[in-house]
Amino acid sequence: MKNKTKILFIGTGQFAVPILEKLINSDYKITAVITVPDKSAGRQRELTASPIKRIALKHKLSILQPEKISNFESQISDLSPDLIITADYGQIIPAKILKIPEFGCLNLHPSLLPKYRGSSPIQTAILKGERITGITIMLMDEKMDHGPIIAQEKIIIKDNDNYQTLEKELSQKSANLLIKILPQYLKKEIKSILQEHGKATYTKIFTRQHGQIDLKQSAEQIQRMVRAFYPWPGAWLILNNKRIKILKAKAINQQDKAAIKTKNGYLLLELVQPAGKNPMTGQEFAQGYLNKNSHS
Protein backbone atom coordinates (compact mmCIF):
# COMPACT_ATOMS: atom_id res chain seq x y z
CA MET A 1 0.00 0.00 0.00
CA LYS A 2 1.34 3.44 -0.96
CA ASN A 3 2.29 5.81 1.81
CA LYS A 4 0.05 8.87 1.48
CA THR A 5 2.87 11.34 2.18
CA LYS A 6 3.57 13.27 -1.04
CA ILE A 7 7.31 13.83 -1.52
CA LEU A 8 8.97 16.15 -4.03
CA PHE A 9 12.54 14.93 -4.61
CA ILE A 10 15.25 17.40 -5.68
CA GLY A 11 18.69 16.15 -6.69
CA THR A 12 21.27 15.78 -9.43
CA GLY A 13 24.38 13.68 -8.89
CA GLN A 14 25.30 10.08 -8.15
CA PHE A 15 25.20 10.63 -4.38
CA ALA A 16 21.43 11.23 -4.61
CA VAL A 17 20.63 8.08 -6.63
CA PRO A 18 20.42 5.45 -3.83
CA ILE A 19 18.34 7.92 -1.79
CA LEU A 20 15.72 8.35 -4.52
CA GLU A 21 15.72 4.60 -5.26
CA LYS A 22 15.17 3.78 -1.59
CA LEU A 23 12.23 6.20 -1.41
CA ILE A 24 10.66 4.66 -4.53
CA ASN A 25 11.10 1.11 -3.19
CA SER A 26 9.69 2.14 0.20
CA ASP A 27 6.39 3.11 -1.43
CA TYR A 28 6.40 6.81 -0.63
CA LYS A 29 4.46 8.80 -3.19
CA ILE A 30 6.97 10.77 -5.30
CA THR A 31 4.93 13.58 -6.85
CA ALA A 32 7.81 14.76 -9.07
CA VAL A 33 11.58 14.93 -9.37
CA ILE A 34 13.43 18.21 -9.90
CA THR A 35 16.92 18.05 -11.38
CA VAL A 36 19.23 20.22 -13.49
CA PRO A 37 18.75 20.67 -17.26
CA ASP A 38 20.58 18.19 -19.51
CA LYS A 39 24.18 19.25 -20.13
CA SER A 40 26.56 18.87 -23.08
CA ALA A 41 29.24 16.30 -22.29
CA GLY A 42 32.06 14.41 -24.00
CA ARG A 43 33.90 15.19 -27.19
CA GLN A 44 30.70 15.02 -29.22
CA ARG A 45 29.05 17.53 -26.81
CA GLU A 46 25.96 15.33 -26.62
CA LEU A 47 23.19 16.35 -24.24
CA THR A 48 23.44 14.14 -21.16
CA ALA A 49 20.82 13.63 -18.45
CA SER A 50 21.77 13.80 -14.78
CA PRO A 51 22.00 10.48 -12.85
CA ILE A 52 18.79 11.44 -11.02
CA LYS A 53 16.91 12.11 -14.28
CA ARG A 54 17.90 8.66 -15.54
CA ILE A 55 16.42 7.03 -12.42
CA ALA A 56 13.27 9.16 -12.69
CA LEU A 57 12.80 8.14 -16.34
CA LYS A 58 13.29 4.48 -15.47
CA HIS A 59 10.50 4.69 -12.88
CA LYS A 60 8.27 6.91 -15.08
CA LEU A 61 8.26 9.77 -12.57
CA SER A 62 7.29 13.33 -13.48
CA ILE A 63 10.46 15.39 -14.13
CA LEU A 64 11.06 19.16 -13.90
CA GLN A 65 14.36 20.72 -15.00
CA PRO A 66 14.43 24.44 -14.17
CA GLU A 67 17.52 26.54 -14.92
CA LYS A 68 16.84 28.30 -11.62
CA ILE A 69 14.68 26.66 -9.00
CA SER A 70 13.89 30.10 -7.53
CA ASN A 71 11.66 30.71 -10.59
CA PHE A 72 9.64 27.54 -9.97
CA GLU A 73 7.67 28.50 -6.87
CA SER A 74 4.23 28.29 -8.54
CA GLN A 75 4.93 24.91 -10.21
CA ILE A 76 6.12 23.46 -6.88
CA SER A 77 3.13 24.95 -5.07
CA ASP A 78 0.80 23.29 -7.62
CA LEU A 79 2.33 19.89 -6.76
CA SER A 80 1.38 20.54 -3.09
CA PRO A 81 4.06 18.26 -1.63
CA ASP A 82 3.87 17.33 2.06
CA LEU A 83 7.67 17.12 2.21
CA ILE A 84 10.63 18.11 0.01
CA ILE A 85 13.77 15.95 0.14
CA THR A 86 17.00 17.19 -1.47
CA ALA A 87 20.42 15.66 -2.02
CA ASP A 88 23.36 16.71 -4.19
CA TYR A 89 21.41 19.36 -6.10
CA GLY A 90 23.74 22.33 -6.44
CA GLN A 91 21.38 25.30 -5.98
CA ILE A 92 20.24 27.15 -2.87
CA ILE A 93 16.49 26.66 -2.42
CA PRO A 94 14.81 29.96 -1.47
CA ALA A 95 12.70 30.39 1.68
CA LYS A 96 9.50 30.92 -0.34
CA ILE A 97 9.80 27.31 -1.63
CA LEU A 98 10.94 25.85 1.71
CA LYS A 99 7.69 27.14 3.26
CA ILE A 100 5.42 25.27 0.82
CA PRO A 101 5.38 21.74 2.33
CA GLU A 102 3.86 21.07 5.76
CA PHE A 103 6.91 19.07 6.85
CA GLY A 104 9.49 21.46 5.39
CA CYS A 105 12.51 20.43 3.36
CA LEU A 106 15.04 17.79 4.44
CA ASN A 107 18.55 17.81 2.98
CA LEU A 108 20.99 14.89 3.09
CA HIS A 109 24.58 16.10 3.32
CA PRO A 110 27.72 13.89 3.32
CA SER A 111 29.54 15.35 6.33
CA LEU A 112 29.03 15.74 10.06
CA LEU A 113 27.64 19.28 10.01
CA PRO A 114 28.56 21.99 10.86
CA LYS A 115 31.89 20.62 9.56
CA TYR A 116 32.44 20.82 5.80
CA ARG A 117 29.43 22.75 4.56
CA GLY A 118 29.28 23.33 0.82
CA SER A 119 29.84 21.43 -2.41
CA SER A 120 32.80 19.12 -1.77
CA PRO A 121 32.67 17.61 1.74
CA ILE A 122 33.75 14.11 0.65
CA GLN A 123 36.87 15.23 -1.23
CA THR A 124 37.76 17.69 1.53
CA ALA A 125 37.53 15.05 4.27
CA ILE A 126 39.99 12.81 2.35
CA LEU A 127 42.30 15.73 1.52
CA LYS A 128 42.48 16.77 5.18
CA GLY A 129 43.36 13.25 6.29
CA GLU A 130 40.17 12.79 8.34
CA ARG A 131 39.66 9.34 9.87
CA ILE A 132 35.95 9.82 10.52
CA THR A 133 33.20 11.46 8.49
CA GLY A 134 29.48 10.85 8.21
CA ILE A 135 26.09 12.00 7.03
CA THR A 136 23.68 14.62 8.28
CA ILE A 137 19.95 14.91 7.64
CA MET A 138 18.98 18.50 8.30
CA LEU A 139 15.90 20.68 8.08
CA MET A 140 16.77 23.26 5.44
CA ASP A 141 16.66 27.02 5.84
CA GLU A 142 17.64 29.61 3.23
CA LYS A 143 21.35 29.45 4.10
CA MET A 144 23.73 26.78 2.82
CA ASP A 145 23.84 23.65 5.04
CA HIS A 146 22.80 25.82 7.97
CA GLY A 147 19.51 24.41 9.29
CA PRO A 148 18.85 22.30 12.40
CA ILE A 149 20.01 18.67 12.49
CA ILE A 150 17.42 15.87 12.39
CA ALA A 151 19.83 12.89 12.39
CA GLN A 152 23.54 12.06 11.95
CA GLU A 153 25.60 8.92 11.50
CA LYS A 154 29.39 8.50 11.56
CA ILE A 155 31.53 6.29 9.34
CA ILE A 156 35.25 5.48 9.32
CA ILE A 157 37.28 6.53 6.28
CA LYS A 158 39.36 3.53 5.20
CA ASP A 159 42.98 3.95 4.09
CA ASN A 160 42.16 2.92 0.53
CA ASP A 161 38.95 4.94 0.20
CA ASN A 162 38.84 7.38 -2.70
CA TYR A 163 36.12 9.88 -3.57
CA GLN A 164 34.20 7.30 -5.58
CA THR A 165 34.15 4.55 -2.92
CA LEU A 166 33.47 6.94 -0.04
CA GLU A 167 30.64 8.67 -1.91
CA LYS A 168 29.04 5.28 -2.58
CA GLU A 169 29.19 4.26 1.07
CA LEU A 170 27.91 7.63 2.31
CA SER A 171 25.01 7.67 -0.16
CA GLN A 172 23.89 4.16 0.86
CA LYS A 173 24.12 5.13 4.55
CA SER A 174 22.13 8.30 3.83
CA ALA A 175 19.38 6.36 2.08
CA ASN A 176 19.11 3.83 4.93
CA LEU A 177 19.12 6.51 7.64
CA LEU A 178 16.45 8.55 5.84
CA ILE A 179 14.07 5.58 5.55
CA LYS A 180 14.71 4.73 9.19
CA ILE A 181 13.91 8.21 10.56
CA LEU A 182 11.14 9.30 8.16
CA PRO A 183 8.21 7.64 10.00
CA GLN A 184 9.24 9.32 13.30
CA TYR A 185 9.90 12.63 11.56
CA LEU A 186 6.48 12.64 9.88
CA LYS A 187 4.85 11.91 13.26
CA LYS A 188 6.82 14.91 14.63
CA GLU A 189 8.55 12.68 17.16
CA ILE A 190 12.09 13.89 16.38
CA LYS A 191 13.46 16.94 18.16
CA SER A 192 15.85 18.86 15.90
CA ILE A 193 19.19 20.17 17.21
CA LEU A 194 20.54 23.58 16.23
CA GLN A 195 23.97 23.54 14.61
CA GLU A 196 26.89 25.18 16.42
CA HIS A 197 27.45 27.80 13.72
CA GLY A 198 30.66 29.04 15.35
CA LYS A 199 32.24 25.65 14.54
CA ALA A 200 31.22 25.70 10.88
CA THR A 201 33.85 25.04 8.21
CA TYR A 202 33.33 25.38 4.46
CA THR A 203 34.43 23.57 1.32
CA LYS A 204 35.06 24.92 -2.18
CA ILE A 205 34.18 23.90 -5.70
CA PHE A 206 37.08 21.96 -7.24
CA THR A 207 38.12 22.43 -10.88
CA ARG A 208 40.48 20.46 -13.10
CA GLN A 209 43.27 22.87 -12.18
CA HIS A 210 43.01 21.89 -8.50
CA GLY A 211 44.17 18.41 -9.55
CA GLN A 212 47.68 19.53 -10.53
CA ILE A 213 50.22 17.81 -8.29
CA ASP A 214 52.97 19.89 -6.69
CA LEU A 215 56.01 17.72 -5.88
CA LYS A 216 56.99 20.27 -3.22
CA GLN A 217 54.27 18.67 -1.09
CA SER A 218 54.87 15.49 0.91
CA ALA A 219 54.14 12.06 -0.56
CA GLU A 220 51.39 11.63 2.08
CA GLN A 221 49.65 14.84 0.98
CA ILE A 222 49.83 13.87 -2.69
CA GLN A 223 48.52 10.36 -1.95
CA ARG A 224 45.48 11.90 -0.23
CA MET A 225 45.00 14.22 -3.21
CA VAL A 226 45.03 11.27 -5.65
CA ARG A 227 42.36 9.53 -3.55
CA ALA A 228 40.25 12.68 -3.05
CA PHE A 229 40.25 13.59 -6.74
CA TYR A 230 39.44 10.18 -8.22
CA PRO A 231 37.63 10.21 -10.58
CA TRP A 232 36.95 13.98 -10.57
CA PRO A 233 38.71 16.36 -11.10
CA GLY A 234 41.60 13.87 -11.33
CA ALA A 235 45.14 14.26 -9.98
CA TRP A 236 47.78 14.92 -12.63
CA LEU A 237 51.28 16.25 -13.24
CA ILE A 238 53.51 17.19 -16.14
CA LEU A 239 56.43 14.81 -16.70
CA ASN A 240 58.79 15.43 -19.62
CA ASN A 241 56.29 17.92 -21.08
CA LYS A 242 53.49 15.35 -21.04
CA ARG A 243 50.40 15.37 -18.86
CA ILE A 244 50.06 12.21 -16.76
CA LYS A 245 46.95 11.35 -14.73
CA ILE A 246 47.73 9.57 -11.47
CA LEU A 247 44.82 7.20 -10.80
CA LYS A 248 46.31 5.35 -7.81
CA ALA A 249 49.47 5.98 -5.80
CA LYS A 250 51.03 5.25 -2.42
CA ALA A 251 53.44 7.16 -0.19
CA ILE A 252 56.62 5.17 0.53
CA ASN A 253 59.92 5.95 2.30
CA GLN A 254 62.44 4.45 -0.12
CA GLN A 255 63.18 4.88 -3.81
CA ASP A 256 61.57 2.57 -6.36
CA LYS A 257 61.79 2.57 -10.13
CA ALA A 258 58.07 3.44 -10.33
CA ALA A 259 58.30 6.14 -7.66
CA ILE A 260 58.66 9.91 -7.89
CA LYS A 261 60.61 11.93 -5.32
CA THR A 262 58.58 14.50 -3.36
CA LYS A 263 59.45 17.05 -0.68
CA ASN A 264 59.11 14.31 1.92
CA GLY A 265 59.20 10.67 0.82
CA TYR A 266 58.45 9.02 -2.51
CA LEU A 267 55.17 8.61 -4.39
CA LEU A 268 54.86 5.07 -5.75
CA LEU A 269 52.80 5.17 -8.94
CA GLU A 270 50.38 2.23 -8.95
CA LEU A 271 48.04 3.17 -11.81
CA VAL A 272 48.55 6.02 -14.29
CA GLN A 273 47.19 7.28 -17.59
CA PRO A 274 49.45 9.28 -19.92
CA ALA A 275 47.61 11.75 -22.19
CA GLY A 276 45.99 9.92 -25.12
CA LYS A 277 46.84 6.46 -23.72
CA ASN A 278 45.01 3.75 -21.81
CA PRO A 279 45.59 3.34 -18.06
CA MET A 280 48.69 1.30 -17.18
CA THR A 281 50.43 0.11 -14.03
CA GLY A 282 53.20 2.20 -12.52
CA GLN A 283 55.71 -0.55 -13.37
CA GLU A 284 54.65 -0.54 -17.05
CA PHE A 285 54.86 3.24 -17.05
CA ALA A 286 58.33 3.16 -15.50
CA GLN A 287 59.66 0.63 -18.03
CA GLY A 288 58.17 2.18 -21.13
CA TYR A 289 58.17 5.87 -20.30
CA LEU A 290 59.48 7.16 -16.98
CA ASN A 291 63.01 5.71 -16.93
CA LYS A 292 63.43 5.84 -20.71
CA ASN A 293 62.56 9.55 -20.79
CA SER A 294 64.44 10.51 -17.65
CA HIS A 295 67.74 9.82 -19.42
CA SER A 296 66.87 11.77 -22.59
β-pair partners for 266: 252, 261
Where do the DSSP E strands lie in 194-291? 235-239, 242-252, 259-261, 266-274, 280-281
In the chain, the number of structural domains is 2
Give the model's pLDDT for residue 293: 46
The total of other beta-carbon atoms located within 10 Å of residue 44's CB is 6
Read off the pLDDT of residues 103-156 as tens digits, 9 standing for 90 and up. Answer: 999 999 999 999 999 999 999 999 999 999 999 999 999 899 999 999 999 999
Specify the CATH number for the domain of residue 251.
3.10.25.10
* Residues 194 and 212 occupy one common structural domain: no
Read off the pLDDT of residues 48-70 as tens digits, 9 standing for 90 and up. Answer: 999 999 999 999 999 999 999 99
| CA–CA gap between residue 34 and residue 41 (Å, rounded) | 20
Specify the CATH number for the domain of residue 195.
3.40.50.170
| CA–CA gap between residue 55 and residue 61 (Å, rounded) | 9
Q: What is the pTM of this model?
A: 0.92
Residue 271 belongs to what domain range?
208-294
Give the model's pLDDT for residue 295: 36
